Amino acid sequence: MEYAYRGEVLTPSECGRMDQVCAYGEIPVFLTFDGDDMEMEELFPRQSIYMAIADLNQGENTKRILSNLNYHFMRENEHLRERLRYALGDANREILMDARRAIAQGDSVGLGQLMSKAQQLFDKCVLPACSEELTGPILHEVPSR
């Protein structure tokens, strides 16, 4: 997969690192990124976890989002920069480690709670850096439990 990714990078396809996860199919995979390096670890839940995934038919401009996030991550006011770094760094890592445990234990309720926690963190700390692209009004109309 590493060679396939490196080959794609040489083309105009502009693929991402996570595209390579598709090769795992239905197997849950935990990804760890460190710069250009990526590690994948297969997860083995104790019981099945069922998820509903919906396409809300909302477009986004990924290049614009990444450009805005990078700008604020590096240069913008200290308050926004620190919130963004916290949300995408320490808080993200903590949520992901808890989610990894929830998946391993087959705890779908706990996993759902962590997904809600991640969305709240995103809305509070990440969305202000790129609100025109990330607001997601349709997403926020969907009731959560």
CB 125 within 8 A of CB 84: yes
Same domain, 54 and 38: no
Same domain, 74 and 38: no
Farthest CA pair distance, the chain: 45
Rounded CA-CA distance 3/9 in Å is 10
Write out the two tokens for 95.
Answer: 């949520």
Rounded CA-CA distance 88/125 in Å is 9
Same domain, 99 and 119: yes
The pLDDT value recorded for residue 142 is 66
Counting the structural domains of the chain, the total is 2
Same domain, 76 and 112: yes
For 107, the domain range is: 48-145
Same domain, 35 and 61: no
- The pTM of this model reads 0.76
Tell me the pLDDT tens digit for each residue of 108-139.
Answer: 999 999 999 999 999 999 988 887 767 766 66
